[in-house]
């Protein structure tokens, strides 16, 4: 009887431990589109995620033709990007290779946008660290 009670207590303890674990909300967004509707949609997703889970870690990586979203004077979502970039759990990262290919200088970037050497490698690294991956498209 004691063994059965000990076993049941052990199972309950393990069950509570498993269910008490909270999966971290880490997501990397892959942004390559110059489509303004897609860019607005991406900002909306950030809003929805942070509203539902304020502790979520979000990173949006820009390469290809998407750089207009993070360039001063070109971005239609500049204010949102600037506001979100100030938060410690949200990062906007642009590929240095894409900047070179699109002839964008770092002085043209919105405040808070970070430069990474290779955007694709940044995404792969996040996935390797267990982050969720979302390709932004419509």
**Is 2 within the bounds of a domain?**
no
Closest CA to 70 of 60, 86, 81, 61: 81
**Is 66 within the bounds of a domain?**
yes
The Cα 72–Cα 75 span in angstroms is 6
Which residue range is the domain that position 42 belongs to?
24-136
* CATH code of the domain in which 131 resides: 3.40.1260.10
Predicted pLDDT at 4: 61
Closest CA to 138 of 56, 36, 11: 36
pTM beyond 0.85, yes or no: no
β-strand 132-136 against 57-62: which pairing, if any?
unpaired
Closest CA to 93 of 120, 72, 73: 120
Domains in the chain, number: 1
pLDDT in tens, 70-98: 999 999 999 999 999 999 999 999 999 99
130: which 2 tokens?
A: 């267990």
pLDDT in tens, 19-75: 555 789 999 999 999 999 999 999 999 999 999 999 999 999 999 999 999 999 999
**Is 52 within the bounds of a domain?**
yes
Looking at residues 107-120, what average pLDDT do you find? 98
**Is 87 within the bounds of a domain?**
yes
**Is 56 within the bounds of a domain?**
yes
Per-residue confidence band for 1, with pLDDT thresholds at 50, 70 and 90? low
**Is 126 within the bounds of a domain?**
yes
**Is 45 within the bounds of a domain?**
yes
């Amino acid at each position: 009887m004691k063994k059965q009670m000990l076993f049941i207590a052990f199972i309950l303890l393990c069950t509570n431990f498993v269910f008490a674990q909270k999966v971290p909300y880490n997501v990397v967004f892959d942004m390559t589109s110059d489509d303004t509707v897609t860019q607005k949609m991406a900002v909306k997703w950030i809003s929805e995620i942070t509203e539902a889970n304020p502790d979520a870690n979000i990173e949006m990586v820009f390469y290809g033709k998407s750089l207009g979203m993070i360039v001063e004077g070109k971005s239609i979502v500049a204010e949102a990007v600037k506001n979100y970039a100030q938060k410690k759990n949200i990062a906007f990262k642009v590929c240095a290779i894409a900047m070179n290919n699109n002839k964008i200088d770092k002085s043209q970037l919105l405040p808070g946008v970070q430069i990474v050497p290779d955007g694709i490698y940044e995404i792969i690294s996040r996935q390797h660290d267990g982050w969720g991956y979302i390709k932004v498209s419509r």
